[in-house]
Structures are given as C-alpha cells and as structure tokens.
C-alpha cells in the first residue's frame, strides 16, 4: 500500500507536424492507438491514449500537428489541437531536438507561454538520440528564456524509450489528485471501426508519395463481427481521378499491398482473423466540404 494520493488527468500532446507525438503516446501506453508515418499531417483528429498503473492514470490526447493550411481540413485540424489544449489539465509541448529550433515551433511556444491558458506546461525535447549532445544544454537555455514559466523541460527519445519513465513521473506530478476516469484495462476511447479506418490510412500514407496522402481518407462502410472473424468493407477516397490508378497500382498490386499490411495490423490489435475488402473512390475536393469532413469524423467537434 502507498500513502501517495492517486493522480489522474489529461495531457494534451502539442507541437508542429512530425515531432513524434504519436510515437511517444504509443510508447508510453504500450499499444499502437495512433498511426505513425513520416508524412506530415498523419494525425488528423484528437486521439486518446490511456496509461494506468496503481498510482496514476494519465490520459494522453494526441493532436494534429499545428500548421498553416488553406483547406478546410487543415483549419479543422488546428482547431482540434487548440481545443484539446484548452480542455487539458496539462500541456506537453513537443519539439524535435535533432533539428534547430524553427520559427513555427518558436511561435507555438510563445503562444502558449503568453498566459492565455492557465494549465502547467512541460516542454518535451524529442529525438535526443539523434541530437548533437553539445547543443542540448544551449537548446534548454533557449527554451527557458522563451517560456520561463514552464513547469519542466524533459529531453526524451520516444523511439528508443530514453527518459520516458522520467517524463511519466514529471507529468503525473502536475495532474490533479482524483480517482481514475477510465477502467484501468482501457488504453483508448477509439472504437474498433475507427481503428480500422486509421490502420488502412496508415498503409496508404506509407505507400504513396507527394500530395497524394493528404488527399486520401478512409470510410468504413461495414464492420461486422462474425464468430471468430471480423469482416470490414473500406472505401479509400482520393481527391483526383489521376490518383486512383496510382493507388491501385499495376494489376491491383498497390491495393493488395495496402490491404495485406493493414489486415495484419488489425489482426494483431483485434486478436482475431480479419477479412478486409478495399475499394477506391474519387471524391474531388472532399477535404474542403464541412459536411463530408463531419461524416468522416474530421470536423472540429469529435
């Protein structure tokens, strides 16, 4: 038994695209609930990942990378990130420590340091395994000057697990003393249907190049549990007629590869056999239509 009070609360993971928010959350909770690709804007909506142990429950809110973009989807993604920050108990502002501090990251830090939000702020310097160690201390000093009111600055490597236990402890120290909100067996609030859509989209992103990933989305038309297996019908939306043959590939090889890899991932997380049927449909400019974005779960409210 411990005399320490139980701590529970929400932590918003914030940052520009590709700083490793999803990788960090997956590592900390020990399950893949957020898809990860090298492409920017992989995360499009808020994703919950739940870490629980005997003394704390940390509810991570993975958010889209904060960026500029003219399309409705871009604007929705940024609004979702800022809304998550307003609702959280604690802000974890992430950056890529292996690269120089860029203007978008600096602007983001200054925005949260201006006092408009009262939550404690912890700065997470990710990818320290790739960083020049001689430049790490000056980087920390630079951040302290930008945000002197921050609660902590923690260097980590989400990919290699460096300092992640220390980060967990630091985060928990700033959470409210209250009972757990979720059952300790839960690791996400996403439905199996949502996970299926994300796993398919991940493989599309990994298989395509340039502008095509951004102009794709996945709509699950059927998710049916049949005894020892699950059958899924998924439509991959593309924003242009010319993208359709690129995704399908010669003789359907592209779609076959996407389907095989997505099915393998889904079988691992669902714990049963999966039959995955994929189709490609052209829906021009879907990323600019609020009604379509709401239908796909990509509206501001989620």
Q: Which tens digits make up the pLDDT trace of 32-42?
A: 999 888 877 78
Residue 212's pLDDT is what? 61
pLDDT at 21 over 80: yes
Q: Which tens digits make up the pLDDT trace of 56-78?
A: 999 999 998 888 877 888 888 88
Model confidence band, residue 287 (pLDDT cutoffs 50, 70, 90)? confident
pLDDT at 300 over 70: no
Average pLDDT, the chain: 91
- Hey, where are the domains in the chain? 7-173, 192-295
Q: Which tens digits make up the pLDDT trace of 142-193?
A: 999 999 999 999 999 999 999 999 999 999 999 999 999 999 999 999 999 9
CATH 3.10.129.10 fits 192-295, yes or no: no
Q: Which tens digits make up the pLDDT trace of 76-129?
A: 888 899 999 999 999 999 999 999 999 999 999 999 999 889 999 999 999 999
**Assign residue 20 a region: left if phi > 0, alpha if psi is -120 to 50, beta otherwise?**
left
Are the C-beta atoms of residues 61 and 81 closer than 8 Å to each other? no
pLDDT at 302 over 70: no
Residue 253 C-alpha from the chain's centroid: 29
| DSSP per position, 47-82 | EEEEEE-SSEEEEEEE-PPP---SSHHHHHHHHHHH
Model confidence band, residue 210 (pLDDT cutoffs 50, 70, 90)? low
- Spatial CB neighbours of 93, under 8 Å, sequence gap ≥ 6: 14, 15, 108, 109, 112, 121, 122, 123, 124
Residue 285's pLDDT is what? 83
Higher pLDDT, 301 or 10: 10
Residue 1's pLDDT is what? 42
pLDDT at 2 over 70: no
Say how many CA atoms lie within 13 Å of 175 toward its Cβ: 26
Describe the crossing of helices 21-29 and 164-173 by its angle, rounded to 10 degrees: 90
Q: Which of 167, 165, 144, 142 is nearest to 154 (CA)?
A: 167
Within 240-295, where are the H helices?
A: 243-248, 253-270, 290-295
Q: What is the pTM (predicted TM-score) of this model?
A: 0.89
Under CATH, what is the fold of the domain 7-173?
Rossmann fold (3.40.50)
Same fold flag, 7-173 and 192-295 = no
């Amino acid at each position: 038994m411990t005399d320490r009070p139980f701590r529970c609360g929400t932590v918003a993971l914030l940052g520009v695209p590709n700083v490793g928010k999803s990788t960090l959350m997956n590592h900390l909770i020990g399950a893949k609930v957020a898809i990860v690709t090298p492409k920017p804007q992989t995360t499009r909506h808020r994703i919950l990942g739940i870490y629980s142990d005997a003394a704390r429950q940390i509810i991570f809110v993975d958010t889209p990378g904060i960026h500029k973009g003219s399309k409705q989807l871009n604007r929705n993604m940024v609004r979702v990130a800022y809304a998550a920050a307003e609702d959280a108990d604690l802000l974890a502002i992430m950056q890529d420590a292996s690269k120089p501090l860029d203007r978008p990251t600096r602007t983001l830090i200054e925005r949260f340091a201006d006092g408009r939000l009262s939550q404690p702020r912890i700065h997470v310097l990710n990818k320290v395994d790739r960083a020049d160690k001689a430049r790490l201390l000056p980087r920390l000093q630079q951040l302290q000057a930008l945000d002197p009111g921050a609660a902590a600055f923690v260097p980590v490597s989400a990919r290699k697990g460096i300092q992640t236990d220390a980060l967990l402890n630091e985060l928990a120290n700033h959470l409210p003393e209250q009972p757990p909100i979720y059952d300790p067996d839960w690791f996400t609030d996403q439905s199996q249907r949502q996970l299926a859509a994300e796993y398919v989209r991940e493989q599309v992103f990994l298989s395509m190049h340039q502008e095509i990933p951004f102009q794709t989305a996945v709509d699950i038309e059927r998710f049916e549990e049949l005894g020892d297996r699950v059958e899924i019908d998924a439509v991959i939306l593309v924003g242009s007629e010319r993208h359709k043959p690129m995704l399908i590939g010669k003789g359907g090889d592209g779609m076959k590869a996407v389907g095989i890899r997505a099915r393998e991932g889904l079988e691992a997380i669902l714990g049963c056999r999966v039959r995955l049927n994929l189709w490609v449909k052209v829906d021009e400019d879907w990323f600019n239509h609020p009604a379509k974005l709401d239908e796909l779960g990509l509206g501001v409210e989620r």
